[in-house]
């Protein structure tokens, strides 16, 4: 096995072909308690981060929006309200368990949001179709982030926006406290609430392996996006990147 065929899964190195399977196992395992754990881990802040992402999107009524790795559908729900009945929101996720949770939630809310299981590295949509593409807390789990970003850029219309909401590099003075929280408290909470310490250990490790704000910005530029800018949220625990297709 050559080094090019390997990738990281948290702090472990695994074959590229295995990563998607392992990530899928993690999300199959946490799907039912996903929202509860998100609320506990972020003290409910993940909701305000998502609302902020929607407010920065500049989406108009009638626009087409693609929600990648949309999981439980929080963002699709917010976007569906924003684009109105003339617009279109498509919820996608590679993981069937997570997508099932999101699809059921859309139906319960009476929203007409199609849910599609697909790989972000091979999006089944034509070129220049969406006004806005968003991926929230999903990019770090993708095996080939560069390919996924290029695909997102491809399906955007000219003038369209790509938004990436993801964990990032925390403000340096807080890094020690954040490490204690991530590697001690997070797996413990996972064990107590979701009965799954390993998945939350992976979460903490995958956050550390994810590119920092400036690196991700450069990756978006390399994928063909322009005017890329980012917002640090909660002292950099999370960053929202926004780039335009020109």
Partner 1 sequence: MFKSFSTQILQHLIAQNTWACSMLQPFAGKSVRITIAPVHSTLMILEDGTLAMAGETNIPDASINIAPSLLPRLIAKDEAAKLQIEVTGDTHLATALAKVLSHLRWDYEDDLSKLVGDVPANKIGTFARSSVQSLKGAGINFASMLSEYWQEEKPMLAKKRHVDQFNHDVDHLRSDVERFEKRLQKLAKAREASTATSQAGDSGTIPNNQVTDSVK
Which residues bind to partner 1, rule: CB under 8 A? Answer: 48, 52, 55-60, 131, 159, 161, 213, 217, 227-234, 240, 242, 244
- Between the alpha carbon of residue 4 and those of residues 8, 144, 208, 216, 223, the distances in Å are 11, 11, 21, 20, 20
CB of 15 to partner 1, least distance (A): 36
Q: Which is nearer to partner 1, 82 or 105 (CB)?
A: 82
Tokens of 61: 């009524």
Helix (H) or strand (E) holding 222: helix 213-222
Q: How far is the CB of 231 from partner 1 (least distance, A)?
A: 5
Using CA atoms, how far apart are residues 230 and 164, in angstroms rounded to an integer?
A: 9
Smallest distance, partner 1 to C-beta of residue 218, A: 11
Q: Which is nearer to partner 1, 20 or 80 (CB)?
A: 80
Minimum distance of partner 1 from residue 154's CB (angstroms) = 20
**Closest distance of CB 49 from partner 1, Å:** 8
Q: CB of 16 within 8 A of CB of 209? A: no
Nearer to partner 1 among residue 101 and residue 225 (C-beta): 225
Q: Contact 30/97 with Cβ under 8 angstroms?
A: no
- Distance separating alpha carbons of residues 59 and 31, to the nearest angstrom: 29
33 vs 157 by CB, closer to partner 1: 157
Instruction: Report the 10 Å Cβ neighbour count for 114.
Output: 12
User: How far is Cα 217 from Cα 85, in angstroms, rounded to an integer?
Assistant: 33
Cβ nearer to partner 1, comparing 36 with 235: 235
How far apart (Å, rounded) are the C-alpha atoms in residues 58 and 132?
Answer: 9
């Amino acid at each position: 096995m050559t080094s090019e065929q390997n990738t990281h899964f948290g702090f472990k190195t695994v074959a590229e072909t295995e990563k998607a399977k392992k990530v899928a196992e993690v999300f199959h395992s946490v799907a039912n308690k996903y929202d509860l754990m998100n609320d506990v881990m972020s003290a409910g802040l993940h909701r305000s981060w998502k609302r902020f992402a929607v407010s920065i999107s500049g989406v108009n009524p009638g626009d087409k929006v693609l929600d990648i790795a949309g999981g439980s559908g929080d963002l699709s729900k917010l976007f569906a309200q924003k684009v109105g009945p003339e617009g279109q929101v498509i919820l996608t996720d590679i993981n069937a368990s997570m997508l099932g949770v999101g699809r059921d939630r859309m139906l319960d809310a009476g929203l007409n949001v199609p849910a599609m299981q697909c790989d972000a590295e091979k999006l089944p949509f034509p070129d220049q179709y969406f006004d806005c593409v968003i991926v929230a807390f999903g990019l770090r789990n993708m095996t080939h982030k560069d390919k996924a970003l290029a695909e997102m850029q491809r399906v955007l219309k000219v003038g369209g926006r790509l938004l990436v909401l993801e964990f990032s590099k925390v403000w340096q003075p807080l890094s020690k406290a954040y490490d204690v929280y991530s590697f001690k408290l997070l797996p413990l909470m996972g064990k107590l609430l979701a009965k799954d310490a390993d998945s939350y250990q992976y979460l903490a490790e995958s956050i550390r392996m994810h590119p920092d704000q400036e690196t991700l910005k450069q990756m978006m530029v390399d994928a063909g996006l322009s005017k890329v800018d980012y917002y640090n949220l909660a002292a950099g625990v999370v960053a929202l990147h926004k780039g335009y297709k020109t």
